[in-house]
Structure 1
């Protein structure tokens, strides 16, 4: 049976993931974080980089973030981990006034829901020139260190910011992080690489375009938002 994607006519709250969603995958900013995570795991567990890589990706897949796995399995403190892995060069990010204008064109509230930290989010938004476009950032600390796709994380977000999921849309680069939003009534959009340049991702991270919980797929978020703004 063909799925009927949800529309955007009723949306008054726009919820965005941060990394690889508000900027193109091929910027590979997350690749820097990924490398820092590997180094942290290697140093903490005193294992080779190759072994650390395997552990890192196993925890990422099983726990939602490598940090959650390291906390659960090895007693790592979140503050130490976040400070280390987000110590990166944000300069590859460039201002995106077109996206800013497209976000402004959306009627209603705009919020960030990220598994990263508010410090990292602040630096990313500043580089993109988007800081003033968002009402708030709900980060991994606000989520009490439970990352997406944990159902309770979305519930905490909805309660904290008084969001009605039936009138909200969620933009994400990982399809698995859209399962719960769709279940609770949000309209879901998967943001995928545009294919113009090589991206560094795990195979499972790029899956889900045809999943029933994905209402729309776009490889051009700015253009997609411009289209929505034109209809509102």
Structure 2
């Protein structure tokens, strides 16, 4: 399912902002599943919990604080650098290069950014594996956000201020509707990227949002095709 964009509604966009995981690569690749497993293992080792208890706590922290990292820092004062390094030590070969996506992003007029709750290293490795790294002007990661994750409004404010981006002249692409609430309030054009044909993936129901129609301008299950509609190659 793809809502066809009106190219005229994107003519004023000069800053293109993309989430990373499950946005710049398809949900069905399941790359994030590796990170998810490593986060559970981290919680299990930290608190000496069986895996099932650790996973339950991990999801509780995620729902309560926005990310597992934020929850672990708030409750247990963990070292963020150690956590980020360990959970992102994954196999990126699961991703296939996507030259079509790279060309579609390159064709967009203006600056392009990655805005992620993950680390810069993870974003760089992911983008390089996809073959799209060179198309981005910068990466704004969880460290640049002061370890405050999306959907916090202050994270977007920091990003906009750092790169001198005007909300009404920007578009935000995300796979979680709740992460589009602040961008929409800031005047950004918002695009929700959903799984192809909405097929079940490793992502579990706790990750999915209830309808946030007021925050979403467009919905697509094919990012490349959506971008090509905006700016034909």
My pick for the range that moved more, 208-217 or 13-22, is 208-217
Alignment correspondent of 1:147: 149
Which residues of 2 match residues 77-156 of structure 1 at below 5 A? Answer: 77-156=79-158
Q: Which residue of 1 aligns with 2:219?
A: 217
CA deviations 1:35-76 (Å, max 9, x no partner) are 000000000011111111111111111111000000000010
Deviation of residue 207 (structure 1)? 2.9
RMSD between aligned alpha carbons?
Answer: 1.6
Instruction: Find the residue that maps to 2:147 and give its secondary structure.
Output: coil
- In structure 2, the gaps of 5 or more residues are 1-5
Counterpart CA distance in 2 for 1:204 and 1:192 is 15
1:36-115 map, 5 Å: 36-115=38-117
Conserved? CA contact 1:117–1:140, under 8 Å: yes
Structure 2: how far apart are the matches of 1:136 and 1:208?
Answer: 31
Tell me the residue number matched to 2:3: none
> Which structure has more helix as a fraction of its residues?
2
CA–CA separation in structure 1 for the residues paired with 2:159 and 2:44 = 32
For structure 1, the 5+ residue unaligned runs are none
Give the alignment's TM-score, normalised by structure 2: 0.94
Counterpart-to-counterpart distance in 2, 1:23 and 1:121: 11
> Could you tell me how far apart the structure 2 residues matched to 1:56 and 1:7 are?
40
What whole-Å deviation, never above 9, does each CA across 1:122-172 have from its counterpart, x for those lacking one? 100110001110000000000010000111100000011110001000000
TM-score, normalisation: structure 1: 0.94
The answer (yes or no) to whether the contact 1:171–1:189 under 8 Å persists in 2 is yes
Counterpart of 2:168 in structure 1 is: 166
Contact 1:175 1:205 in 2 (8 A): no
- Retained in 1: the 8 A contact 2:191–2:220? yes
Which aligned pairs between 1:186-225 and structure 2 lie closer than 5 A? 186-195=188-197, 198-208=200-210, 211-225=213-227
The alignment covers a number of residue pairs equal to: 227
Match of 1:10 among 7, 12, 21: 12
Deviation at 1:190, TM superposition (A): 0.4
Q: Distance in 1 between matches of 2:52 and 2:146?
A: 30
**Alpha-carbon offset, residue 208 of structure 1:** 4.5
